[in-house]
Amino acid sequence: IKDHDYFDKIGLAYEKPYPLVGNMLDIVLQRKPLMDMIEPNYYRHKKDKIFGFFNFTRVSYYILDPEIIKKITIKDFDHFVNHSDEITNADNVFNRSLFALHDKEWKDMRSTLSPIFTSSKMKMMYGHLSDQATNFVKHYEEKAKKEDNLIVEALDTFARFTADGIATSVFGFQTDCVVNKNSETYKIVQKMLHDFLGTIGVLKTVFSFGFPKIYNMLGLQITSREIYDFFKRVVIDVMDERDRKNIFRPDVIQLLLQAKKGQLKTEKENELNEKELTNFAANIEYDLGSKINDASHFTQDDWIAQGFIFFFAGFDTTSNLLQMTCYELAMNVDIQRELQEEVDEQLNLLDGKTISYEALHKMKFLDMVISEALRLWVPAPQVDRACTKDYDIELGNGRSVTIKKGQVINIPIQCVHHDPEYFPEPKKFNPYRFSDENKDSIIPGTYLPFGMGPRICIGSRFALMEAKLLMFNLMSKFNVEKCDKTPEKVTYEPNLFFRIKEKIYLRFKLRK
Ligand code: HEM
């Protein structure tokens, strides 16, 4: 309770804390999902623009105002360069990943990696993902021919597709997660998630947060040896082999190898004209002014950590996006028909060929559907920043607050996305919010499914390409329908992780 009078002293509205657990009682008792717990506070304090919050014993803040969100993430980014280390400190692999790196180390790594995720590089990897999406649909076509009533469990189905997609286009190896129920790779991917999100992982994280010194003294870790060895094999051993044998394959490992040698650059002249592509939710990569040509100071473990984070950050998020897009299409049949009309128009133009990167990214309704799914069911409903230099926020009417170095601010993305002031009838799935006529009226700072500013998700283009390819192929052959087991209402698990509680079953019905 040491700091419980902190917000009274600085004159800021806050939520009354309990000893030790602060404002996290509902989470500790597993009574509510994090964002359900935050939402009433969001509306209670909205006019204050910011409120104080006790993350267990630590003083932190929730930022509610879009203008302040923009300032913190973009204009005054140099005060908020890092994510908090509350979770990342518990694990040596996560801790060296781009998500967790701090200050100059982050800037160097981000500058080194960002050329991997430009549109020209996405186009280079496109073929692998396109093959995965076609194979996925072929597999289910075969199944549907045998089973008239083909019911799938959405998360597992799309997680298998996402795992195969990342394995081939990031790591350069073919996996069998979609076609083989007992796939070894899929077991490893599930173990990776379980290490972090299972009970033991959560207890370790909470312990490391409360007692960091004892945690380190005991040499505890979250990533198991098996997962570390897996990423060592698929990152380091493959890079070494390619280097030795001079093998080239268009995937992220190839680009990492180039980055490691300091040879990777963004070639502006080869980039596609983003304005001609519809990718509303995609990131703008900021110029960090750090030109890294020599990446030799990064260690083997640094490269393993980047391979790990590409899988960890990209896998569950994209699977969830696909699950919730299909769920909404099953519940909103008119929207599904409209999407299929757009898909069919493209199919007519293609005359049996596969769709190109450009054509896929010019499909406006597909982009509207995905953008809306990301608004309503944002896969990462909250992001944070640690304050690196004291920062004053003007709150109006002569009020201000100073965020101190080391304190953490949270941005409740889901609350902003669900606020009727910014998105009328917020719980309604309405892709027209993102039509050409409407999208300019979206207030900057109120739509941020991939975060915002220089620290925005580096993989947004990859995720959108993967999701669009799957949806295009799926909609061309199947109607996605609700069945007896489809839940009418979907909620999140009552904990810190943003995972859907209900299993969502859907019917894949072959189109006539
Ligand atoms: C629908 C899919 C995805 C969503 C919604 C998502 C969302 C996010 C969000 C909200 C952040 C934090 C941004 C911030 O703090 O402002 C983030 C960071 C990150 N994401 Fe994603 N992500 C997705 C897919 C991916 C994929 C496919 C990859 C890799 C291939 C990826 C790699 C990363 C990395 C490395 C970071 C840390 C970036 C940094 O700190 O510089 N994500 N993501």
Give per-residue pLDDT as tens, 348-394: 999 889 999 999 999 999 999 999 999 999 999 999 999 999 999 99
CATH number of the domain that 202 lies in? Answer: 1.10.630.10
Q: Is 455 in the pocket of ligand 1 (CB under 6 A)?
A: yes
Q: How confident is the model at residue 283 (pLDDT cuts 50, 70, 90)?
A: confident
Judge whether 252 lies within some domain. yes
Indicate whether residue 381 lines ligand 1 (CB < 6 A). no
Smallest Cα–Cα separation from 223: which of 83, 109, 90?
90
**Ligand 1 in reach of 475 Cβ (< 6 A):** no
Residue 19 lies in a domain: no
User: Quick check: CB of 117 below 6 Å from ligand 1?
Assistant: no
Q: Which residues does residue 506 pair with via DSSP β-bridges, in sequence order?
A: 152, 482
Q: Name which residue sits closest to atom 25 of ligand 1, judged by CA.
A: 314
Amino acid letter, residue 316? D
Mean pLDDT of 427-440: 96
Burial label, 499 (beta-carbon count in 10 A; 0-12, 13-18, 19+): middle
Phi and psi torsions of 27, nearest 5°: -75, -45
Of 91-100, 202-211, 344-353, 490-499, least confident by mean pLDDT is 202-211
Does residue 15 belong to any structural domain of this protein? no
Q: How far apart are CA 191 and CA 144, in angstroms?
A: 30
Cβ–ligand 1 contact at 231 (below 6 Å): no
CA distance 316 to 309: 12
CB 415 within 8 A of CB 34: no
* Nearest CA residue ID for atom 41, ligand 1: 455
Res 27 pLDDT > 70? yes
The reply, when asked if residue 483 is annotated as ligand binding, is: no
State the closest ligand 1 atom to the C-alpha of 449, by its place in the atom list counted from 1: 5
Q: Which residue has tokens 């010194």?
A: 213
Q: Which of 450, 455, 465, 500 is the pocket-test mutation for ligand 1 (most atoms within 8 Å of CB)?
A: 450
- Contact predicate 64/45, CB 8 Å: yes
Does 292 score more than 70 pLDDT?
no
Question: What would the mean pLDDT of 73-95 be, rounded to a whole number?
Answer: 89
* Ligand 1 within 6 A of CB of 313: yes
pTM comes to: 0.95
Q: Which two tokens stand for residue 321?
A: 């996006």
Task: Indicate if the pLDDT at residue 7 is higher than 60.
Answer: yes
Centroid of ligand 1 to alpha carbon of 510 (angstroms):
34
pLDDT the model gives residue 269: 66
Among 183-187, 238-242, 330-334, the range scoring the smallest mean pLDDT is: 238-242
Q: Is 283 within a domain?
A: yes
Atom of ligand 1 nearest to the CA of 462: 27
**Angle formed at CA 438 by CA 437 and CA 443, multiple of 5 degrees:** 140
The pLDDT assigned to 413 comes to 98
In a domain, 60, yes or no: no
What average pLDDT does the structure give for the chain? 91
State the total domains in the chain: 1
CA of 88 to the centre of ligand 1 (A): 15
- At 155 the three-state DSSP class reads helix
Q: Spell out the SS3 assignment of 466-491.
A: HHHHHHHHHHHHEEEEECCCCCCCCC
Tell me the CA–centroid distance for residue 320 and ligand 1, in Å. Answer: 13
77 is written with which tokens?
């980014």
Q: Which domain holds residue 113?
A: 87-378+430-510
State if residue 457 touches ligand 1 by the CB under 6 angstroms criterion: yes
3-state secondary structure of 208: helix
Residue 282 pLDDT: 83
Ligand 1, atom nearest to 464 Cα: 1
Residue 177 lies in a domain: yes
Q: CA-CA distance, 449 to 429, in Å (whole number)?
A: 16
Most confident of 76-90, 170-184, 225-239, 438-452: 438-452
Query: What is the Cα–Cα distance from 382 to 299, expressed in whole angstroms?
Result: 31
Cα(36) to ligand 1 centroid in Å equals 22
54 lines ligand 1 (CB under 6 A): no
Nearest residue by C-alpha to atom 18 in ligand 1: 457
361 close to ligand 1 (CB < 6 Angstrom):
no
Q: Is 312 in the pocket of ligand 1 (CB under 6 A)?
A: no
- Ligand 1 atom nearest to CA at 73: 16
70 lines ligand 1 (CB under 6 A): no
> pLDDT at position 136, please?
97
How many percent of the chain have pLDDT more than 90?
67
Measured at the alpha carbon of residue 160, what is the angle toward residues 505 and 503, in degrees to the nearest 5?
25
Res 118 pLDDT > 80 = yes
For residue 401, being part of any structural domain is answered with no
End-to-end CA distance of the chain: 65
Residues 152-189: tens digit of each pLDDT:
999 999 999 999 999 998 888 889 999 999 999 999 99
Q: What is the pLDDT of residue 294?
A: 60
ipTM for this model: 0.99
193 lines ligand 1 (CB under 6 A): no
Q: Tell me what the mean pLDDT of segment 200-215 comes to.
A: 82
Buried b (16+ CB within 10 A) or exposed e, 80-93: bbbbbbbbbbbbbb
Indicate whether 117 pLDDT > 70.
yes
Q: Is residue 54 part of a domain?
A: no
